[in-house]
Amino acid sequence: QVQLVQSGAEVKKPGASVKVSCKASGYTFTSYGISWVRQAPGQGLEWMGWISAYNGNTNYAQKLQGRVTMTTDTSTSTAYMELRSLRSDDTAVYYCASFNSSGPFDYWGQGTLVTVSS
């Protein structure tokens, strides 16, 4: 069955960077894209961007441009999301989700809590 397993919780200081991983199994990794979505405590879902696991093309939300980088390692079927210059309002649960090229987000990772605190 399809599974997306994310790395564990992180605590970072303001100004630092974090890199979250998302390991896929149960499907052909390069046939789908991976999107990243975050959710601040008590808030709604915020789409961050996506990466094509087929060719590495990316598309980022404008508000995160310049601070976020999404990559994949097809040899291990793993996607990564790096966020730099962390601020307190980056504290959130970060999710990865798989999607077909023209479809919704059908499978989700379990989420990774990133806490930014001095």
State the residues that interact with another protein by CB under 8 A. Answer: 35, 37, 44-47, 50, 59, 61-62, 95, 97, 99, 102-106, 108-111
Listed in sequence order, the residues at least 6 apart from 53 whose beta carbon sits closer than 8 Å to its beta carbon are: 24, 29, 30, 31, 32, 33, 34, 72, 74, 79
Q: Minimum CB separation from another protein for residue 39, in Å?
A: 8
Listed in sequence order, the residues at least 6 apart from 28 whose beta carbon sits closer than 8 Å to its beta carbon are: none
Nearer Cβ to another protein, position 61 or 68? 61
HSE-CB for 70 with a 13 A CA cutoff? 27
Nearer Cβ to another protein, position 73 or 106? 106
Q: Minimum CB separation from another protein for residue 10, in Å?
A: 17
Q: Minimum CB separation from another protein for residue 117, in Å?
A: 21
Q: How deeply is 15 buried, as exposed, middle or buried, from its count of CB atoms within 10 A (0-12, 13-18, 19+)?
A: exposed
Nearer Cβ to another protein, position 17 or 31? 31
Q: Minimum CB separation from another protein for residue 108, in Å?
A: 4
Q: Which residue has the tokens 């790395």?
A: 7
Nearer Cβ to another protein, position 37 or 114? 37
**Residues across the chain:** 118
